[in-house]
C-alpha cells in the first residue's frame, strides 16, 4: 500500500483545513520543500500535493511549488486542485507531476476528463471522488453535485479509470478515523485501485486499510499534529 503524505498549499505555504473549510486554515510550515524533504528522508516515495488556491480559483495557481518539489526531491507527486483545462493539465505535467487528480472537472466537464484518460493513460490520471453524504462535492468542496458516489465511480471505471481517491469530507482534518465502511463498500462494488483519504488519526488505522485492500492512503493532519510519526511510516514502508 502506498503512503502519500499530503501537502496542501495556500499562498505557497503548507496548511491544513478542517472539512474543507478555508476559514479553518492552519499554517504548519512556510516551506513546502522543507516538509517534502523530511518525508523523503524517511523513505517516503510519494506525495499528494493539493493546490487549494487553484481549487478555489478554478485554475492551477501553485505550479511553481510543484516544480520546486519535483526538481529538488525524488518524490513521485500526485497533484490536484484547480485542474480545469488541457492547459492546466499540461502545466501540471510540465512542472513535474507524476499523476494528477481531477475531481470537479470530472463532474462538470466529463468529456474533457475522459479525453485526459485516453490521452495520458489510466496510470497518470486519478479520479477525485470527494463525498458529502452520498453526493460528490466540487470546487474545493464549496458545492455539492447531484451525482452519487457509486454512479460516479462506476461511470468512470467504464471509461478506463483505475485510480480513485475517495475523501469523506465529514472526516477530513478531524482526526476521528477514516471511513472504513465506505471504503469497504467501494472495494466490494467496483474494481478500482482505491486511495483512502480523510480522518486518519493513528498508526493502527494503516494496517486496517491495507487489509481492506486500499492501494494507497493519504495522511495529512495526523502527521502535522504528531499523531503519526515519520519513523512509524518509515517502518511501515520497509515492512
Give the residue numbers marked as catalytic: 8, 130
Q: Locate the DSSP E strands across the chain.
A: 2-10, 13-18, 21-29, 46-51, 76-80, 99-102, 125-132, 135-138, 143-148, 163-168, 193-197, 216-219
Please state the φ and ψ torsions of residue 171, each to the nearest 5 degrees: -100, -20
For residue 102, give the C-alpha cell.
481531477
How far is residue 83's CA from residue 132's CA, in Å, rounded to a whole number? 21
Nearest 5°: the CA angle 29, 33, 34 is: 60
Alpha carbon distance 224, 145 (integer Å): 31
CB 171 within 8 A of CB 199: yes
CB 222 within 8 A of CB 204: no
Amino acid at each position: 500500500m502506498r503512503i502519500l503524505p499530503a501537502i496542501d498549499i495556500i499562498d505557497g505555504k503548507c496548511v491544513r483545513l478542517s472539512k474543507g473549510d478555508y476559514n479553518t486554515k492552519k499554517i504548519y510550515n512556510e516551506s513546502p520543500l522543507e516538509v517534502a524533504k523530511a518525508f523523503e528522508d524517511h523513505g517516503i516515495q510519494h506525495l499528494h500535493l493539493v493546490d487549494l488556491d487553484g481549487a478555489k480559483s478554478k485554475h492551477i495557481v501553485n505550479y511553481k511549488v510543484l516544480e520546486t518539489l519535483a526538481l529538488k526531491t525524488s518524490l513521485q507527486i500526485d497533484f490536484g486542485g484547480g485542474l480545469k483545462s488541457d492547459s492546466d493539465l499540461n502545466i501540471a505535467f510540465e512542472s513535474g507531476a507524476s499523476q494528477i487528480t481531477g475531481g470537479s472537472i470530472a463532474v462538470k466537464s466529463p468529456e474533457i476528463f475522459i479525453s485526459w484518460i485516453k490521452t495520458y493513460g489510466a496510470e497518470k490520471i486519478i479520479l477525485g471522488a470527494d463525498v458529502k453524504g452520498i453526493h460528490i462535492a466540487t470546487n474545493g468542496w464549496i458545492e455539492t453535485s447531484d451525482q452519487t458516489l457509486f454512479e460516479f465511480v462506476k461511470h468512470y471505471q467504464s471509461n478506463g479509470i483505475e485510480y480513485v481517491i475517495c475523501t469523506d469530507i465529514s472526516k477530513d482534518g478531524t482526526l476521528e478515523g477514516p471511513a472504513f465502511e465506505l471504503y469497504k463498500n467501494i472495494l466490494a462494488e467496483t474494481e478500482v485501485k482505491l486511495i483512502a483519504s480523510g480522518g486518519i488519526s493513528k498508526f493502527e488505522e494503516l494496517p486496517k486499510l491495507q487489509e481492506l485492500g486500499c492501494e494507497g492512503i493519504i495522511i495529512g493532519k495526523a502527521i502535522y499534529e504528531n499523531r503519526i510519526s515519520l519513523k512509524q511510516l518509515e517502518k511501515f514502508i520497509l515492512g
